[in-house]
């Protein structure tokens, strides 16, 4: 026997816990979490940042700390 908010089992006991929703897997594609795409993007951004810091030091003669201290 089933009502809107509770279930009565075959022994006549009332189970008034919430009825669980249907479980499904949300397909978000391969672009979330630790995926090869995310790791490649992270590596590329790290390389761009590293090269930018080297270029900053070559053009200004100071490292990142020296540039930030002079602001």
Q: Kindly state the DSSP code that residue 63 receives in the 8-state scheme.
A: -
DSSP string, 18-50: PPPPPP------SSSSS-HHHHHHHHHHHHHHH
Round the average pLDDT of the chain to a whole number and report it: 80
- Stronger pLDDT, 38 or 31, i.e. the higher one: 38
Statement: residue 31 has pLDDT above 90: no
Kindly tell me if the per-residue pLDDT of 49 is higher than 90: yes
6-27 pLDDT, tens digit each: 677 778 777 776 677 788 776 7
Q: Across-strand partners of 14?
A: 8
For residue 5, the 8-state DSSP code is S
């Amino acid at each position: 026997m089933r009502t809107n908010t509770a279930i009565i089992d075959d022994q006549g006991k009332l189970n008034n816990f919430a009825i669980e929703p249907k479980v499904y897997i949300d397909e978000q594609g391969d672009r979330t979490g630790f995926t090869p795409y995310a790791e490649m993007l992270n590596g590329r951004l790290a390389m761009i940042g590293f090269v930018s810091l080297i270029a900053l030091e070559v053009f200004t003669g100071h490292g990142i700390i020296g540039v930030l201290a002079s602001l």
